[in-house]
Every structure is written in C-alpha cells, then in structure tokens.
Structure 1
Amino acid sequence: MGGTAARASRPPVRLRLAALMLALAVAAAGAAAAPPSLVVLVDTGTEMPMAAFRENQLVDGMHHDLGLALAAALGRQAVFLGLPRKRIGMALEQGQADLICMYIPAWLPGNFNWSQPFFPLREVVVTDTTVPRPAGLADLKGQTIATVLGYFHPELERLLGPGFVREDGPSSSANLRKMAVGRLHHVVTQQSMLDYHQKTGERLSVYPPLLVKSYQGQCAVSPRGQVSVEAINKAIGHLVKDGEVARITARYQ
C-alpha cells in the first residue's frame, strides 16, 4: 500500500518531462540573451589616467572607458585582460584577446590589423620653474630629461642626437613626483598624464609644456579574434561622431 501511495504522489511522467523541457528552454533563453564578449587587452604597467587596476582587475581609466564604449557599440560585453607589456604581442597574435587600443604600429610589431587613427595623444616635455624656461626642444640638448624605462622617443633622439640625456624611471607619475621635490627638472610624458597629475596629485609649478609630437592612437586587432577590423572601425566612427571619445578624454583633464 505504501508503494502504491508513493507512486500516486509523484506527478505523471508527462508533467515531469514538461517541467524539464521548460527549465531547459529557460536556460537556453538565458544563454541566448547574454551578449558575446569583446576581450580587451591592457598593459598592467599602465597607470592613471590610462588605467587603474585593483586586485588584477581593470577598474578605471581611459582604457576601461574606451573598452566599455567599443563593446557597447558592437553589442558585446567588455572583458578586460591585463598582461605585462612583454606578453601583449603574443597574446594578441594567438587570439587570447580581440584588441588593444591607444597604440600605434611602431610600438607593437606583429601580424595585427590596425584600426583607423582616432584617439588623440600628445607627447610633451614639461619643465619646472626653478630653472630657465626652454624656448624650444633644442634648448634641452645636454640637459637630463626624465624618461620611462623601455620607452623610446625617436623625435627627441633625432633632434637632440647625443645631447638627448635620459634618466630612466619606473613610470611617468614617479618622474613627476621627483620633479615635485626638486630631484629633476625636465620630464617627457603624455599631456593627459600631466593634466591628471595637476588635477589629482601634488600640483607642480611648471612652464607650458613643449610639444614633442601630436598623434592619434589606434587599436591593434587580433587576426584570430572574434571581431573584424571593419567592425571595429565602424564602432570607432560611431564613438567619434557621437562625441564619446571627447567625453572620455575630458573626464580625466
């Protein structure tokens, strides 16, 4: 009798099958609703205003904002992959990520598809006011200029020749902090880095910076990634036209 009662208490087989099919359909619908990803590479050595990492996760900065904007324009979900600079080229060639942005081909040799130039960047030399103001870059010949280890400055090398005297530091922000305490007087950096330091750090007494070069960053697109360079260019065109690129840069000035 107990067995008969137990059988009677269970729902009919067709109802159990219907419930199972409904659960599978709901799960499938949820999976279908999730947007595909856009895997964005970021150099873990990058600092604000370009990038900020917390527990190895990208949480702020221009790379973060641009990655989110590009993914949204493509109908995708941004996923950020932070790697040391030396591993970025190989990861992109192998398709571990879809792209890295705010680069130019000279910085990243390899078999990549390059987007159109679009992200404004300015390399400058800034001088503090405790020394005479240089009238131009040529006046810096023979004077020590703070640079970042591993970065190249071909324009300064061509102009100053052997008179381009480098003092390598770990980062632009470290160099600007050294300037603040009088340990050095000339720093080559990005205008955005200087603007951000003046906004958030110990404000420097400096002359108007001297322009080294003004250019537009691009995105290196993996040939083995999920997104074509044509799709990236279309998304970039939308962000530029919509003013989103200008809003990203303005946020950190």
Structure 2
Amino acid sequence: MRRLLALLLLWTAHSLAEQPVLRFSVVESWSMPLVRLEGDQPVEGLVFDLLQALAREAGVRPEYHVMARLRLQQAMDAGDIDVRCYASTRWFNDRPGNFVWSIPLIQQRDVLVGRPGDNDAVQPEQLPPQAIGTVLGYAYGTLEPLFAQGRLQREDSRSQQLALQKLQVGRYQHAVSNELSLQWFNQGLPAGQRLQVQAVLEEQALGCMVRNDPAIPTQGVLRALVRMKESGAIDRIVQRYGAAEYSGEGLGARP
C-alpha cells in the first residue's frame, strides 16, 4: 500500500512537472470581489477563481505576477507575462501585435455612485464642479472630456474598495465603480447605509489576452476559455461573487 501511494505521488509530481508554466498578471489595485491578496499572491476572488479554472482546463501551471496597473503594458511588451484577463479591447489604441484576444467572457457596468439617500438619477455633465472618486491608473472614457475641461476632478485611490470607503465617509459626493464591486461593498451594509447608483456610465465586454508565442499553448488556452464560457463555468464564477441582484449584464472601468 505504501509503495502504491509512493508511486502515485511520484506520478502526480511528474505530471505536474510536465505541465507548461503560464504567467498570469494580477493588478495590485484590484480588491474583492475581484481578488484578495495575501503577501504578494492572490488567494481568492472572481479573477483568481477564473484563472485557476482556466489553468486546470488548459492543463497548465499558473504563476501569478502581481503588478501595478500602469506596469501592465510594459510587462506585456517585454514578454514578462503570458495571460492577461479582465481586459477590454477598448483600452488599447492599437491592437497588441504579440497577444491574441479571447472571446468576450464577462459583461459589466461602470456606474456613477452617490451616497446613501442619493436616489435621484443624474448625468455627469449635470454635476456642479467637484472631485470624483476614481482609481489610480483606471481610465473612464465617459468622464474624460469633463476631466479635461476641469468641470470634474479625479481624486484617485489605490483600489476600488478604498474609493468607495472614502465616498462612504464623505470625502466626496460621487465616485465611479464597476457594478460588481459596488454590490460587493453594499451587501454587508444595512439598506439605509448603502451607496446608490445614480447613472450607468459605460458598458463593455471583458476577456483575456494570451501571448502569441510557439513556446506556450496559446490556442489551447483560447479553446479552454471557449469551453468554459459555453459550459457556463465562467457565469457561475461571476454569480459566486455577485450580490443576489447582480444580472451579469453590463461592465466597467479599465482595471
């Protein structure tokens, strides 16, 4: 019995050693429900579960590289990462020539968020001059003209959660959040203390980008994502981290 167990462990170790290693990017400004970090490694969250499931489906070993949002493009250009997920084609002026896009995987919304009791719908261009809670390194296409004109000013935070916490304590009157993060933030609060959606700013599809290199199984990873989407595995991951009313329709700021 001991010999059989030793052979099984040896076979498992050998099988894992044969699996190619893929380097997945993780943005350090992400917070739950996207990712929770311990030390310098992700341990839970929607994106973490997605990447773990992708690694299993594609038969690869994941290696996570946590980095600042503003360093992502440099890392891609240098070939330092193999897979980048939770990204939109709208975030790039030019198509990255050395990466291949997956099919769209997740839909989510960017919303303008007000404080508890701010239930009235309002459009950003109707707001008086003020600071808006934003996340460092994120781009907000709908608001960029207002930022450029000086009608609104960015007040950047290191993470989406911190931006919402500052709104909650009155540092500013409005913030921008993706819908999923807002619902995660609100779900532990009494109804009278929940932050309010006042406008939908933007919707876009998110997917993954895989480095186009013969040294890695690019097409195998892309096919794995197709299978995961068609089987409903990705939608189940999204629902696992969504509030009860999350529809899975709509999407967000550039993370």
Q: Could you state the TM-score of these two structures normalised by the residue count of structure 2?
A: 0.76
Amino acid in the other structure paired with 2:131: T
Structure with larger RCO (C-alpha < 8 A, sep 6+): 2
The 3 A distance-change label for structure 1 pair 153 and 71 is same
User: Is the aligned partner of 1:227 residue 2:217?
Assistant: yes
User: Is the aligned partner of 1:120 residue 2:102?
Assistant: no
- Matched residue, 1:192: 180
SS at match of 1:122: strand
The 3 A distance-change label for structure 1 pair 240 and 26 is closer
- Matched residue, 1:174: 162
The 3 A distance-change label for structure 1 pair 243 and 206 is same
Deviations 1:159-212 (A, max 9, x none): 786223322233221221122222222110111110111124687433334111
1:37 to 21, 32, 44: 21
Taking the aligned partners of 2:190 and 2:175, their CA distance within structure 1 comes to 15
Taking the aligned partners of 2:90 and 2:113, their CA distance within structure 1 comes to 24
SS at match of 1:155: coil
Taking the aligned partners of 2:13 and 2:154, their CA distance within structure 1 comes to 54
**Aligned pairs, how many?**
228
Deviations 1:106-142 (A, max 9, x none): 4366432222222222111111245572433432353
Shift of 1:64: 0.7
Look at both structures and tell me which one has the larger radius of gyration over its CA atoms.
1
Amino acid in the other structure paired with 1:216: A
- Matched residue, 1:157: 144
The 3 A distance-change label for structure 1 pair 172 and 231 is same
1:208 to 174, 197, 208: 197
- Matched residue, 2:246: none
Taking the aligned partners of 1:247 and 1:58, their CA distance within structure 2 comes to 20
Q: In angstroms, what is the RMSD of aligned CA positions?
A: 2.9
Taking the aligned partners of 1:187 and 1:243, their CA distance within structure 2 comes to 32
Taking the aligned partners of 1:206 and 1:94, their CA distance within structure 2 comes to 41
1:137-156 superposed matches below 5 A: 137-140=124-127, 142-156=129-143
The 3 A distance-change label for structure 1 pair 141 and 233 is farther
More helix by share: 1
SS at match of 2:208: strand
1:99-114 superposed matches below 5 A: 99-107=83-91, 110-111=96-97, 112-114=99-101
Q: Could you state the TM-score of these two structures normalised by the residue count of structure 1?
A: 0.77
- Matched-pair contact (CA < 8 Å) for 2:118–2:198: no
Higher mean Cα deviation, 62-71 or 37-46? 37-46
- Matched-pair contact (CA < 8 Å) for 1:98–1:227: no
- Matched residue, 2:50: 66
